[in-house]
Amino acid sequence: MGSWLFSSDPPAGMMTTQSSTNNFCPEVGHSMSQAESLDGTSEKQGRGTLYILSAPSGGGKTSLVKALRERDPLVRVSCSHTTRKPRPGETHGVEYYFIDPRSFEAMVAENAFLEQARVFDNQYGTSRLEVESLLDQGLDVILEIDWQGARQIRQAFPGVCSIFILPPSLESLEQRLRGRGQDDEAVIARRMRDAINEMIHYREYDYLLVNDDFSEALRGLSSIFQAARLRREVQEQRLESGLAALLTGA
């Protein structure tokens, strides 16, 4: 199917850009570890940063997030609620909270979700309480959601940082879907159609990664998180007392 989405000119595995809608990543909050500040005292623990990661099915989002978590102790993934059945190897409370449709609707009525969406005939929702709790602990929180959920999150958190992950080509995407060995031809065809519908929304995101070479894509993803922690506003909060001493000579 389809021709190459990208030529070989960009660096293998990664292409980053910023959308015109948000010039920078979050004003929601920022992650930082407990370490020494400029004056030798403990740094302040700030509120974590909220990130959205979206990708078509087979784009490699889950693998990239798993690898990022292994190298970055400040990153957490929000565990969504879903009405779909667990896949082989999935555990309740790890990949998702697997609940029945009635329980899901009860949570909707209680306004328990930051966002919710129907994907492949199943419902998915992000727990408001869980996200807020992780952010308050100074952790960066990743929401693995589609473009519909991303729009809802932007309304609730206007400064959220959003990242879209693309495959290098439609051929590559189809190969990945077939390589899973989970779906029949009809489901694969539907996933490919839905992938195009998902990818056309990439312009709504702050950053764009092409997952061609996995290691390069992972470095690109990690650099976005690290750069956000070094922004002036973040450093001012972390190093407040030390900066005051530097500027006053105290």
Q: Please give the pLDDT value at position 18.
A: 43
Q: 50-78+138-244 falls under which CATH superfamily?
A: P-loop containing nucleotide triphosphate hydrolases (3.40.50.300)
Domain boundaries, the chain: 50-78+138-244
Q: Mean pLDDT in runs of 10 for the chain (250 residues)?
A: 42 41 39 46 70 91 95 94 92 92 96 88 92 92 92 88 93 84 82 90 96 95 94 82 85
**CA 29 to CA 18: how far, in whole Å?**
19
Q: Please give the pLDDT value at position 211.
A: 93
Radius of gyration of the chain (CA): 20
Q: Please give the pLDDT value at position 134.
A: 94
Amino acid type, 143: L
Q: Please give the pLDDT value at position 141.
A: 96
Q: Please give the pLDDT value at position 236.
A: 84
Q: Please give the pLDDT value at position 20.
A: 37
- pLDDT tens string 135-168: 999 899 999 989 988 998 999 887 899 999 999 8
Q: Please give the pLDDT value at position 235.
A: 82
Residue with tokens 């952790």: 139
Q: Please give the pLDDT value at position 34.
A: 42
- Asked if 225 and 140 touch (Cβ cutoff 8 Å), the reply is yes
Q: Please give the pLDDT value at position 76.
A: 96
**CA 83 to CA 103: how far, in whole Å?**
9
Q: Please give the pLDDT value at position 38.
A: 54
